Amino acid sequence: MRKLLVCLLSLFGAGTLAQNQMQMLNTTRDQINMEGLKIPTTGTLWGVASANKGEVVGEIYLDTLWTKGNVKLYQSIQPIGGKAIDTLSGLAMRYNVHFNEIEILLNTFNDVKALQGSQIKVFSLEKAGKPAYFLNTQLYKTDKQPTGFYEILVPGKVTLAALPRTIVKKPTYNAAFEVGTKDTRILLDADYYVLKDGKAEKVKPTKKSILEFMPDKAREMEAFLKTNDLDLKERTNLVRLFEHYNSF
Q: pLDDT digit string (tens) for 182-211?
A: 888 889 999 999 999 999 999 999 999 999
Average pLDDT (27-51) is 38
Number of DSSP helices (H) and strands (E) in the chain, helices first? 6, 11
Single out the residue of 200, 192, 178, 197 nearest to residue 236, CA to CA: 192
> Which of residues 15 and 216 earns the better pLDDT score?
216
φ, ψ of residue 171 to 5 degrees: the values are -60, 145
Single out the residue of 208, 209, 182, 178 nearest to residue 193, CA to CA: 209
Helices 218-228 and 235-246 meet at what angle, rounded to 10?
Answer: 140
Q: Does the pLDDT value for residue 71 go beyond 80?
A: yes
The alpha carbons of the chain give a radius of gyration, in whole angstroms, of 21
- How many percent of the chain have pLDDT more than 70? 74
Question: Is the Cα torsion angle 93, 76, 139, 42 positive or negative in sign?
Answer: positive
* Contact assessment for residue 70 and residue 21, using Cβ atoms and an 8 Å cutoff: no
Dist. CA 231–CA 238, nearest whole Å: 8
pLDDT tier, 106 (very low <50, low <70, confident <90, very high otherwise): confident
3-state secondary structure of 4: helix
Whole-model pTM: value is: 0.79
Spatial neighbors of 199 by CB under 8 A, at least 6 apart, are: 1, 140, 141, 142
- How many percent of the chain have pLDDT more than 90? 53
Q: Does the pLDDT value for residue 72 go beyond 90?
A: yes
